[in-house]
Copies of this chain bind each other. A is one copy, B any other.
């Protein structure tokens, strides 16, 4: 059994973690307290960017994703929100059914919104058609959804998970400098948690038939980096990513610089459950709290 499977099994047995369905996780007890510590740390560190704080809506119009080229890039992940038909007869049929869950699942009306696959699409959508006079830096935390078939694994890969992002829209130089500051924020976070984070070049898992070329460009131009954290058995997880988009979103959403050129953008994203997983592997719940805090404080100093 992998070390992290043994740890997750312990959390399940104490009730600290439960999974009512694959990819959906609930947290309680000391494990939740640890998650909330990490969440507060990430929030504070991202606020150091003097970023504009947003609370994003819980879903996106499908048109925003269409404009982002999302369907060609990551159709495999897309998760939709739909509701039942407003038709009274159809509602009553489900209400009176002997197996309403099965019938409701089949009878949903066409989806009218997408559950956010990332926080930053909301920012491009909200700033569509605007001119950026000075670099615009936004931070937001939200629940993101990526359907990963049968690859779900508690804390490492969820259908729904919490993401904190900082997004920069401005000139190419603004975005490059922003990414450097983002790397420094992630290093401060790893230090504060007593974790070792290694930066690696990376590429997104673009849908091969229609977007494989974008992954090749990402590699060639070093557009994507990730911070990898140890999660036992010598394996790592990408717990933060540092992304330059060049003028991809500026063009797609008509976000321009004062000279009329499309703006560049960049984003830094933290996957909070993965930070929790790495922290739990390094400092298991139930280790003597005093000793753990000494180690964490030592690493921070």
- A positions within 8 Å CB-CB of B: 18-21, 24-29, 32-33, 35, 52-66, 71-72, 75-84, 86, 88, 91-92, 94-97, 99-102, 104-106, 108, 110-113, 115, 122, 125-126, 143, 145, 147, 149, 159-160, 207, 209-211
Give the residue name and chain of the B residue nearest to A19 (CB).
Answer: B57
Give the residue name and chain of the B residue nearest to A15 (CB).
Answer: B126
Task: Tell me, in angstroms, the Cα distance from A105 to B18 when the chains sit together.
Answer: 31
Q: Which residue in B65, B91, B105, B211 is a CB contact (below 8 Å) of A101?
A: B65
| A contact face: mostly helix, strand, loop, or mixed | mixed
List the number of copies, as a whole number. 2
B21 & A61 in contact (Cβ 8 Å cutoff): yes
B79 & A95 in contact (Cβ 8 Å cutoff): no
Residues on B with C-beta less than 8 A from A100 are 66, 71-72, 75
List 25 interface pairs A-B (beta carbons < 8 Å), by A numbering.
A18-B57, A20-B60, A20-B125, A21-B57, A21-B59, A24-B59, A24-B113, A26-B56, A28-B52, A28-B54, A32-B55, A62-B102, A62-B104, A65-B101, A75-B84, A80-B81, A80-B84, A81-B115, A88-B209, A92-B209, A92-B210, A95-B211, A105-B112, A106-B110, A108-B111
Residues on B with C-beta less than 8 A from A64 are 20
Which of A53, A83, A122 gathers the greatest number of chain B CB atoms within 10 Å?
A: A83
Residues on B with C-beta less than 8 A from A26 are 54-57, 122, 126
Task: Tell me, in angstroms, the Cα distance from A54 to B29 when the chains sit together.
Answer: 7
A58 & B160 in contact (Cβ 8 Å cutoff): yes
Give the residue name and chain of the B residue nearest to A92 (CB).
Answer: B209
B27 & A101 in contact (Cβ 8 Å cutoff): no
B86 & A149 in contact (Cβ 8 Å cutoff): yes
Task: Tell me, in angstroms, the Cα distance from A122 to B126 when the chains sit together.
Answer: 33
